Structure 1
Amino acid sequence: MKKAIIVGINDYAPIGLDGPDLNGCINDARDMANTLVICGFNPSQIKILTNQNATRVNILKYLKSLVNNSVKGDSLVFYYSGHGTRVANIGTDLEIDGLDEAICPHDYASAGVIRDDDFKAVLGKLKAGVNLEVIFDCCHSGTGTRKMDLGLEIDMSFEAVRFIPPMLEDEFYLTYASEMSSIKTSKKTEFTTKALVPVSGINHTLWAASKDNQVSMEGNMSGQIRGYFTYHFCKILRATNGNIVRKTLDKQIAIALAAMGAAQINQTESMTAEFSQKIFS
């Protein structure tokens, strides 16, 4: 059976105009849900969480249910469109033990972010023989953005970065990470050129909208605010009805992002053998 959880957050707490709101994430969630139906997912098996429903508790609850209730042969999708950030991983002894990437639920300011360690704890219970695609359209760290007019129907003046600045303590550790002996080396290699990233022992495929040292952007795509990565991801899947191998999908997304002058390079992580397999298989 094919099952999915789709999370899209435009409106961050407090509800209204006071939070660090975005504009394209609900559009992304709608497009992803409709695209999955085209790719063979039954609408009844797609759970959508948006805005105030996309709390930390709800996201983790539904993700745990998705993983724990799966059986061999199932194909699962967890999709997130919203803000991302990076936080220091501080142990109980107050020692710095690396840096975590994190997504920001609607209530992150009061409930906290969802770290990569939180995801690992849930995904570590994934049963053998279950396929899982994890798709993140958010950013983990910020750099400058490049705005180019290539004559396409893309209005870069509406660009926004899907990034929440770290808290002071995290920003401080990030700044001096290379000089602090207590911080372990990055868990992931920083890549500056396009490449599939093989990860031994990983039990899912991760589709990231940008590399760890880049931003992920949203902007006006033919009259609608969209995440650049999700726009191309869904467009290619719809054109192929999902009948596409992962390495080909990855490459076509990269080409599309480069063609529009986007200041991000998508990154896909999985077991080496999975790159040559069809997505959702």
Structure 2
Amino acid sequence: MTKKALCIGINDYPGTQNDLNGCVNDARDWAATLTGRGFTVTTLIDAQATKAAMVSAMSSLISGAAKGDTVVITYSGHGTWVPDKNGDEPDGRDEALCPWDIGSGKVLLDDEIAVIFGNHAPGVRVLLISDSCHSGSVTRGDDSDLDPGMPRARFLPPSVWMKPEDLPPAGRALSLPSLSGLSRSGGDLLMAGCTDTQFSWDTSFKGRPNGAFTYYALKALAALPATASYANWFKAISPTYLPTNQLPQNPQLFGSRTAKAWKVFS
């Protein structure tokens, strides 16, 4: 049994004028936590996280795992969408992650990710933690850690990187990226920073940039007993910390009842 992880963090988005601040810290924080829990961790930071590199690293990690292994992939960066071309999306849009080279049109579609996540051996545990816009509201939680003047949405509008002729007709309702389908397409568990009608927020805590979901997920995890399950962990994040007045995002946990009962990072 082996435990391996890939942690991706992208602040730098050349050609978009939509750089972020907390994603690299997110990736390094996840990497440190996972290393401390016995994982062999690979990171892709900024220019390392091209679409080709992300696909290669994800594919290698998942397809190379054997029964009893655990694979964790964390992603912090922008989310976006493109017009759906194969008719599998009710809202007419494919959701996507934004690699470092999104400015060159390199987008990683949910359809492509589902194929990657579906290519693992039986008995392999796979967890995707996505701190990007998928994306509600209510006013509770604790804003005391949040620095003034924050936060910023981790959503990259298609108009920023897509050619004008490829954009869908104006007037359609906005649908934000959602990767919830991955848990039904090969991935065992998905922890997402928000619902598919919300933003995940890039912000700062005590002078240090972070994603709101990553910051509170790790804060909650540090206070849990060693025997805690993913369901226990999720309940410790929401509604204790999120959403709040300034961070109106509802974290999500997708997967089977059995998978949610697994011990965290076991």
Q: What is the TM-score when the length of structure 2 is the normalising length?
A: 0.84
Q: Which residue of 1 aligns with 2:45?
A: 50
**CA distance in 1 between partners of 2:129 and 2:187 (Å):** 14
Q: How far did 1:260 drift?
A: 6.7
Unaligned runs of 5+ in 1: 179-185, 190-196
Shift of 1:70: 0.7
Q: Deviations over 1:44-87 (max 9, x none)?
A: x2110011111000000000100111111111111100000122
- Check conservation: 1:87, 1:99, Cα contact below 8 A: yes
AA aligned opposite 1:28: D
SS at match of 2:241: helix
Counterpart AA for 2:214: T
CA distance in 2 between partners of 1:7 and 1:265 (Å) = 22
- Displacement, 1:224? 0.7
Note the C-alpha offset of 1:40: 2.2
Tell me the SS of whatever aligns to 1:256: coil
Aligned pair in 2 of structure 1 residues 256, 59: CA closer, same or farther (>3 Å)? same
Structure 1 partner of 2:147: 155
The aligned counterpart of 2:14 is 13
For residue 59 of structure 1, what is the aligned residue in structure 2? 54
Tell me whether 1:225 sits opposite 2:209 in the alignment. Answer: yes
Which of 234, 259, 263 is the matching residue for 1:274?
Answer: 259
Task: Please say if residues 27 and 76 of structure 2, whose CA atoms lie closer than 8 Å, have aligned partners that are also in contact.
Answer: yes
Pairing 1:1-281 to 2, within 5 Å after superposition: 1-14=2-15, 19-41=17-39, 45-91=40-86, 98-140=92-134, 152-167=144-159, 169-170=166-167, 172=169, 175=172, 202-240=186-224, 243-254=227-238, 255-258=240-243, 261-281=246-266
1:51 and 1:106 mapped to 2: Cα distance? 6
- Provide the C-alpha distance between the structure 2 equivalents of 1:262 and 1:187, rounded to a whole number of angstroms: 18
| 8 Å CA contact retained: 1:132, 1:204 | yes
In structure 2, distance between residues paired with 1:271 and 1:13:
38
Higher mean C-alpha deviation, range 233-242 or range 79-88: 233-242
Which deviates the most, 258-267 or 129-138?
258-267
Offset of residue 20 of structure 1 = 1.2
The aligned amino acid for 1:36 is L
Q: 1:176 to 1:37 in 2, by over 3 A?
A: closer
* Larger deviation, residues 4-13 vs 153-162: 153-162
Q: 1:200 to 1:65 in 2, by over 3 A?
A: closer
Task: Please tell me whether the aligned partners of residues 104 and 114 of structure 1 are also in contact (alpha carbons under 8 angstroms).
Answer: yes
1:196-227 deviation digits (Å, cap 9, x = unpaired): x9x66754101110101100002121111110
What is the aligned length?
Answer: 257
Letter in 1 for 2:189: T
Identity rate of aligned residues, in percent?
34
Question: In 2, distance between residues paired with 1:174 and 1:207?
Answer: 31
TM-score by length of 1: 0.80
Distance 2:67 2:158 in 1: 39
- Distance, in Å, in 1 between the alignment partners of 2:174 and 2:149 is 34
2:117/2:186 contact within 8 Å kept: no
C-alpha distance after superposition, 1:133-183 (max 9, x if no partner): 101000036x8x9999977131241311100012365553781699xxxxx
Query: SS of the residue aligned with 1:236?
Result: helix
Matched AA of 1:219: T
Superposition deviation, residue 187 in structure 1: 9.3
User: Equivalents in 1 of 2:262, 2:45: separation in Å?
Assistant: 31
What value does the CA root-mean-square deviation take over the aligned residues?
3.3
Alpha-carbon distance in 2 for matches of 1:111, 1:5: 23
